[in-house]
Amino acid sequence: AQKITQTQPGMFVQEKEAVTLDCTYDTSDQSYGLFWYKQPSSGEMIFLIYQGSYDEQNATEGRYSLNFQKARKSANLVISASQLGDSAMYFCAMRRHSGGSNYKLTFGKGTLLTVNP
Amino acid sequence: DTGVSQDPRHKITKRGQNVTFRCDPISEHNRLYWYRQTLGQGPEFLTYFQNEAQLEKSRLLSDRFSAERPKGSFSTLEIQRTEQGDSAMYLCASSPQRGGPADTQYFGPGTRLTVL
């Protein structure tokens, strides 16, 4: 079974500062994908960034980067130059790439990020 | 390209009533998923369609729940004899088969169900 742990229920950051949201995972699979989604108060889950377990480079998408440490089973999200619009819930998720149920996402409980002006 | 749409966005019902939600995936996405999200939790997988075939149902999906995707396009999720414990956000997502990266799932805005 796969498990995602997000230990930070809430985080605060000043506008224009960088912030790291923690995510650790547990799986016995060798091939898997890690995802981060943003959920504003409106409810929609917005895809941010993806990291494959065999990717040698850490993923980056604009102001988002993923600090992937495979041996530690961690996939932390780094948001640079925070903006007020970044205030939202952030979810880490994973999906196995092969075997049974290799299409469903397993989510953590999320971290509520608040960006202060 | 339009995103995933869900209807209604909000539904308030009395315990024991039946409710039905609709999801329209991104066009040409042949994979469709339903998730349920309760307060303070991440989404939990409910069921998955590839085209019109329902390939997996979570144990969370009791006999009161049924999902269909009759023509491989839109999907409906019906809950019969609703209970207060069914109150949650119901999220639909879609993905292209062998899309990239790694078949990312794109979510709709969700339907928030409140059972009184």
Q: Would you say B40 and A111 are in contact if contact means Cβ atoms under 8 Å apart?
A: no
Strand B10-13 vs strand B111-115: parallel, antiparallel, or unpaired?
Answer: parallel
CB contact under 8 A, B112 and A43: yes
> Which amino acid, residue A86?
D
Question: By the CB < 8 Å criterion, does B98 face chain A?
Answer: no
- Sorted by sequence, the CB contacts under 8 Å of residue B47 that are 6+ apart come out as B33, B34, B54, B56, B57, B58, B61, B67
Per-residue pLDDT of chain A (117 residues; tens, 9 = 90+): 889 999 999 999 999 999 999 999 999 988 899 999 999 998 899 999 999 999 889 999 999 999 999 999 999 999 999 999 999 999 999 998 877 777 899 999 999 999 999
Q: Would you say A8 and A112 are in contact if contact means Cβ atoms under 8 Å apart?
A: no
User: Binning pLDDT at 50, 70 and 90, where does residue B16 land?
Assistant: very high
Q: What average pLDDT does chain B have?
A: 92
Q: Would you say B65 and B75 are in contact if contact means Cβ atoms under 8 Å apart?
A: no
Cα–Cα distance measured from residue A52 to residue A7, given in angstroms and rounded to the nearest whole number: 22
Q: What is residue A61's three-state secondary structure?
A: strand
Q: What is the pLDDT of residue B1?
A: 57
Q: What is the pLDDT of residue A102?
A: 75
Picking from A37, A52, A110, the nearest residue to B102 by CB comes out as A52
How close does chain A come to B20, measured CA to CA in Å? 19
Enter the tokens of residue B112: 């928030």
> Which amino acid, residue B80?
Q
Q: What is residue B72's three-state secondary structure?
A: coil
> Which amino acid, residue A12?
F
**B26-64 pLDDT, tens per residue?**
998 999 999 999 999 999 999 999 999 999 899 888 899
With beta carbons under 8 A apart, name residues in chain B contacting A101. 56
**B47-56 pLDDT, tens per residue?**
999 999 999 8
How close does chain A come to B64, measured CA to CA in Å? 22
Cα–Cα distance measured from residue A14 to residue B64, given in angstroms and rounded to the nearest whole number: 47
The CB density around residue A107, as the number of other CB atoms within 10 Å, is 22
Task: State the best of B23, B107, B111, B112 to mutate against chain A, taking most chain A CBs within 10 Å.
Answer: B107
